[in-house]
Amino acid sequence: MPRDAADLSPDLRVTGRDGGVALHCALCGARITNADQAFAANGAHEHVVFNPAGAVFRVGCFRDAPGVQAMGEPSAEFTWFRGYAWRIALCRACGIHLGWRYEGADSPPLFFGLIRTMLTERPE
The CATH number given to whatever domain includes residue 44 is 2.170.150.20
Of residues 11 and 77, the one with the higher pLDDT is 77
Residue 17 lies inside a defined structural domain of this protein: no
Encode pLDDT of 86-108 as tens digits. 999 999 999 999 999 999 998 99
Give 124's pLDDT tier (boundaries 50, 70, 90): confident
Residue 31 lies inside a defined structural domain of this protein: yes
Q: Point out the least confidently predicted range of 7-11, 22-26, 59-63, 85-89.
A: 7-11
Give 76's pLDDT tier (boundaries 50, 70, 90): very high
Residue 19 lies inside a defined structural domain of this protein: no
Task: State the total domains in the chain.
Answer: 1
**Single-letter code of the amino acid located at 29:** G
| Helix, strand, coil content of the chain in percent (nearest 5) | 10, 50, 45
Residue 90 lies inside a defined structural domain of this protein: yes
Residue 100 lies inside a defined structural domain of this protein: yes
Identify the pLDDT of residue 100: 98
Query: With helix as H, strand as E and coil as C, how does 41-54 read?
Result: ECCECEEEEECCCC
Q: Which domain holds residue 92?
A: 5-12+27-123
* C-alpha span between 7 and 86 (Å, rounded): 26
